[in-house]
Amino acid sequence: MVKIVTVIGARPQFIKAAVLSRLMHLEPYSADFKEFIIHTGQHYDQNMSAVFFEEMAIPAPQINLGIGGKSHGAMTGEMLIAIEKILMDIKPDLVLVYGDTDSTLAGALAAGKLLIPIAHVEAGLRSHVMAMPEEQNRILTDHLASWLLAPTATAAENLAKENVHGRIHITGDIMYDAHLFYRPRAQMPPCAREEPYFLATVHRAENTDNKANLENIFAGLSQIKERVILPLHPRTRQKCQTFGLNIPPNIKVLEPVGYLEMLGLELNAKAIITDSGGVQKEAYFCQKPCITLRSETEWVETVTSGWNTLAATNGEAIAEAAKNLKIPQNYPPLYGDGHCGEKILKILG
């Protein structure tokens, strides 16, 4: 039996972990895998964390470290110390990490120092902007990992160019598995049942921590004629208060929502405006045009296929993209066949 320690701490990781954790509790995999989940606490708000475990039926973490709301260095360092102690006690066969957060890097570093093999789900993604903490996290994790589980051929090519030492596997995207499984259970808040709306999310530090960027984003959203529904990330709310920014009247602010409500909002939106990597993909899964509040994206396929427009934090570009929405004629299968989870467990078994 393969003993796995899974390290997670942020919303996108809960979604991805739901797929593999569910499969590991089902036949035929339950006889081959034993999972121990560490929640770092990076997302500590109820609707950013606990609600995901409840509604997605993810097994409760055996340990919640409660490390969140700090600087990148402080969080990564504290997580590293705590995870190392747990790994020394449990002695797993491998450590499973997802994505590109501080939790990802801390889990990979702790395992790497102890010579425990690492499996990285979503390996090979590159924005080619080293100023992004996420880019640093994903590159370092990929160079530590033994199994590089790449969602696309482009990601695999990035890894090959970097001469990583681990084995590269193209598995498809695990979030697509989650989308297909949970889509029939999607929930739509009452406010989304009215007239057409755009769905927006804003949470990245380079946008929320920069007053000019946040002002420009709201200026662009204010020019959209339709309603804009904005589930407000705790950090974004706090920065609006700090900067004294008023949210435009055409924006309907919601408290952070769980995965099933977010899925309902995405499925019924006219289009999606976001700075989130995961939400860019979710927009594609829902066949909704996406406007990305960044000048680059690691999900390059969504742009080249015509489903995603990079508007950065240019208010006029955001408004123009929303005004001139186009739904591409083609919808290529960019992210696999919905069986990423089974492929990963076959590789790790």
Taking only the tens place, the pLDDT of each residue in 254-304 is 998 989 999 999 999 999 999 999 999 999 999 999 999 999 999 999 999
Least confident of 37-46, 91-100, 340-349: 37-46
Query: Residues 117-146: what's their mean pLDDT?
Result: 96
| pLDDT attached to residue 45 | 57
Q: Is the pLDDT of residue 46 over 80?
A: no
SS3 145: coil
Question: Among this protein's residues, is 39 annotated catalytic?
Answer: no
CATH superfamily of domain region 186-323: Glycogen Phosphorylase B; (3.40.50.2000)
Taking only the tens place, the pLDDT of each residue in 273-285 is 999 999 999 999 9
Query: Residues 192-218: what's their mean pLDDT?
Result: 93
Amino acid type, 221: L
Query: Residues 58-76: what's their mean pLDDT?
Result: 87
Catalytic residue among 43, 179, 203, 233: 203
Residues of CATH 3.40.50.2000 domain(s) within the chain?
2-170, 186-323
Distance (Å, whole) CA 202 – CA 291: 12
Tokens of 48: 């950013």
| pLDDT attached to residue 47 | 54
| pLDDT attached to residue 289 | 98
Q: Is the pLDDT of residue 335 over 60?
A: yes
Query: Residues 115-134: what's their mean pLDDT?
Result: 95
| pLDDT attached to residue 195 | 85
Taking only the tens place, the pLDDT of each residue in 70-106 is 888 999 999 999 999 999 999 999 999 999 999 999 9
Query: Residues 191-218: what's their mean pLDDT?
Result: 92
Least confident of 86-90, 105-109, 236-240: 236-240
| 94 within 8 A of 2, measured Cβ to Cβ | yes
| 95 within 8 A of 123, measured Cβ to Cβ | no
Domain range 2-170, CATH architecture: 3-Layer(aba) Sandwich (3.40)
Q: Is the pLDDT of residue 51 over 80?
A: no
Of 272, 268, 269, the residue nearest 281 (C-alpha): 272
SS3 197: strand
Amino acid type, 305: S
